[in-house]
Amino acid sequence: MSVTNLKLKPQATPQTSAQVIALGQTASRGIDGRLSRFVTQTVTNLLPLLVTLTFFTLAWQLICSSPESSLPAPSRVLEESWELIAHPFYIGQGVDQGLFWHVFASLQRVALGYAMAAAVGVALGTLVGQSALAMRGLDPIFQVLRTVPPLAWLPLSLAAFQDGTPSAIFVIFITAIWPIIINTAVGIRNIPQDYQNVAKVLRLNGFEYFGKIMLPAAAPYIFTGLRIGIGLSWLAIVAAEMLIGGVGIGFFIWDAWNSSLISDIIVALIYVGIVGFLLDRLMALVGRAVTRGTANA
Partner 1 sequence: MTKSYLSLELLDKSFERGGTRTEVLKQVSLTVDKGEFISIIGHSGCGKSTLLNIVGGLTQATTGVVLLDGKVVDEPGPDRAVVFQNHSLLPWLTVYENVRLAVDKVFSRTRNKQERHEWTMRNLELVQMAHAAEKHPSEVSGGMKQRVGIARALAMEPKVLLLDEPFGALDALTRAHLQDQVMQIHATLGNTVLMITHDVDEAVLLSDRIVMMTNGPSARVGEILDVPLARPRRRIELASDRTYLTCRESVLKFLYARHRFVEAAE
Query: Least distance (Å) from partner 1 to the CB of residue 127?
Result: 22
> Per rule CB under 8 A, is residue 7 in the interface with partner 1?
no
Residue 194 DSSP SS3: helix
> Per rule CB under 8 A, is residue 206 in the interface with partner 1?
no
- First-to-final CA distance of the chain: 39
Nearest-CA neighbor of 190 among 293, 295, 283, 287? Answer: 295
Nearest-CA neighbor of 169 among 240, 121, 229, 239? Answer: 240
Q: Hey, which residues between 22 and 51 contact partner 1 (CB under 8 A)?
A: none
Nearest-CA neighbor of 149 among 235, 244, 243? Answer: 235
**Which residues lie below 8 Å from residue 146, measured CB to CB, with a gap of 6+?**
178, 179, 182
> 179, exposed or middle or buried, with CB in 10 Å at 0-12, 13-18, 19+?
buried
> Per rule CB under 8 A, is residue 202 in the interface with partner 1?
yes
Kindly tell me which residue out of 134, 212, 235, 284 binds partner 1, with binding defined by CB under 8 A: 212
Specify whether the CB–CB gap between 290 and 219 falls below 8 A.
yes
Query: Least distance (Å) from partner 1 to the CB of residue 254?
Result: 46
Residue 97 DSSP label: B
Kindly tell me which residue out of 60, 161, 195, 210 binds partner 1, with binding defined by CB under 8 A: 195
Query: Least distance (Å) from partner 1 to the CB of residue 208?
Result: 8
> Per rule CB under 8 A, is residue 208 in the interface with partner 1?
yes
Measured in degrees and rounded to the nearest 5, phi and psi for residue 254 equal -65, -40
Kindly tell me which residue out of 117, 174, 219, 249 binds partner 1, with binding defined by CB under 8 A: 219
Query: Least distance (Å) from partner 1 to the CB of residue 169?
Result: 33
Specify whether the CB–CB gap between 185 and 135 falls below 8 A.
yes
Query: Least distance (Å) from partner 1 to the CB of residue 219?
Result: 8
Query: Least distance (Å) from partner 1 to the CB of residue 240?
Result: 37
Residue 198 DSSP SS3: helix
Kindly tell me which residue out of 197, 211, 273, 288 binds partner 1, with binding defined by CB under 8 A: 197
> Per rule CB under 8 A, is residue 281 in the interface with partner 1?
no
Site string for partner 1, 117-146 (x = CB under 8 A): ------------------------------
Query: Least distance (Å) from partner 1 to the CB of residue 116?
Result: 27
Residue 28 DSSP label: -
Binding site for partner 1 (CB under 8 A): 194-195, 197-198, 200-204, 208, 212-213, 216-217, 219, 291, 293-297
